[in-house]
Structure 1
Amino acid sequence: MEPKWLEWAKQLQSIAQAGLTYSKDVYDVERFELIRNISVQILEKHTTIDNTTIKELFANETGYATPKVDIRAVVFRNDKILMVRETKDREWSLPGGWGDIGLSPSEVAVKEVKEESGFDVKPIKLLALFDKKCHPHPPSPYHVYKMFIQCEIIGGQPKESIETDAVEFFAGNELPQLSMARNTESQIQLAFKHLYNQQEPVYFD
């Protein structure tokens, strides 16, 4: 579970964002700006993210605050799972990224696999819908839902991209250094449960 300070910072940001969206009174707007600044200070105190970056993260959010959606594609070949190495931190993750406006979750999964690994895939089934706060990810300023969608390779060849510098398949007991912000070992092991048991239920939260 995420630390209490992070939960409070996100709640304050959510209240501030809604208030700044719907308030008309100049004094109310000033109060909600103050609340947002408090949430920024909390995150700055407890993370390595600088004040300016945190403000930019929050400033680009408008309207009623809702969770972001991160979509990860689970692709197996010969009992091994497809992973890509991120150029930013040189750590490994399942292909994926933020949901895109105009695309369904499965369309995002297909697109991300192609862009990040070079493979063409078709979606098969939803494996899990995680709430990031319930899993051992590093602190994040956003509340995130993570969708894991199993896909099957139908073509293509492994290919690096501007976001990834390596594409490989790994056995469950030989996982590389994971990008913990994107996926955890427990989540990947759950994906392997689906590989070995097709009746494994969809996991949520």
Structure 2
Amino acid sequence: MRTDYYNDPEAPKPNSVVPSASAVVTDELGRILLIKRRDNKLWALPGGGHDVGETIEQTAVREVKEETGLDVEITALTGIYTNPAHIVAFSNGEVRQQFSLCFTARLTGGTPAIDHESTDIAWTHPDDIATLDMHPSMRLRISHYLEARSSPYLG
């Protein structure tokens, strides 16, 4: 299990930093691909930890495939998210400071399928995202994508 802390003065002190990547995947109708995480029951962009031997872009592509069954191609960088006040505590004692790159991606194929990390997959219209139970850090990434910024978010 995991517990996310966001701007919480009671958050535990981090003991690790693990690079990760997520992706805003859209379809031809402009809907955004979301997963419902098994570990915290929140809707999120597909993503996860960087593995040795891959680029961070390959991490995003692999994580989308693992968590959704879908194939994607990276098209841009939405932002780099390193807020030291976003802490993730795991039941094994690891406490991470956030370090995540969020990309935009284009769907290229695959068949939707959930994995051991998710309980649901949904193509979601941007107007419906506000009604979903979602961590603020995911809302921030999606809002930066929807703003169609001329350059990636850095923060």
- Smaller-chain TM-score range? 0.7 to 0.9
- Supply the distance in 2 between the matched residues of 1:168 and 1:154 (Cα, whole angstroms): 17
Q: Does the Cα contact within 8 Å between 2:38 and 2:116 map onto a contact in 1? A: yes
Cα distance change on mapping 1:139 and 1:102 into 2, 3 Å: closer
- Supply the distance in 1 between the matched residues of 2:38 and 2:88 (Cα, whole angstroms): 21
Q: Does the Cα contact within 8 Å between 1:172 and 1:189 map onto a contact in 2? A: no
Residue deviations 1:7-47 (CA, integer Å, cap 9, x gap):
8x34xxxxxxxxxxxxxxxxxxxxxxxxxxxxxxxxxxxxx
Match status 1:92 vs 2:43: yes
Match status 1:201 vs 2:130: no
- Supply the distance in 1 between the matched residues of 2:7 and 2:51 (Cα, whole angstroms): 26
Name the counterpart of 2:18. 68
Match status 1:177 vs 2:133: yes
User: Given the two structures, how large is their TM-score scaled by the length of structure 1?
Assistant: 0.61
TM superposition shift of 1:4: 5.4
SS at match of 2:84: helix
Stretches of 4+ aligned residues off by more than 6 angstroms: none
Cα distance change on mapping 1:163 and 1:190 into 2, 3 Å: same
- Supply the distance in 2 between the matched residues of 1:3 and 1:83 (Cα, whole angstroms): 25
Larger RCO (alpha carbons 8 Å, 6+ apart): 2
Residue deviations 1:84-129 (CA, integer Å, cap 9, x gap):
1112233211000111111111101111111111111111111100
Which structure carries more strand by proportion? 2
Which structure carries more helix by proportion? 1
Residues 1-205 of structure 1 mapped to structure 2, 5 A cutoff: 2-3=7-8, 6=11, 9-10=13-14, 58=15, 67-77=17-27, 78-133=29-84, 137=86, 140=89, 141-175=95-129, 176-178=132-134, 180=135, 183-194=137-148, 200-205=150-155
TM superposition shift of 1:131: 1.2
Ranges in structure 1 where 5+ consecutive residues have no aligned partner: 11-57, 59-64
Ranges in structure 2 where 5+ consecutive residues have no aligned partner: 1-5, 90-94
1:201 is aligned with what amino acid? S
- Supply the distance in 1 between the matched residues of 2:107 and 2:9 (Cα, whole angstroms): 41
2:64 is aligned with what amino acid? V
- Supply the distance in 1 between the matched residues of 2:138 and 2:105 (Cα, whole angstroms): 19
TM superposition shift of 1:154: 0.7
Q: Does the Cα contact within 8 Å between 1:132 and 1:146 map onto a contact in 2? A: no
- Supply the distance in 2 between the matched residues of 1:89 and 1:144 (Cα, whole angstroms): 16
Name the counterpart of 1:48. none
* Percentage of matched positions with identical amino acids: 21
**CA RMSD of superposed structures (Å):** 2.4
TM superposition shift of 1:184: 3.0
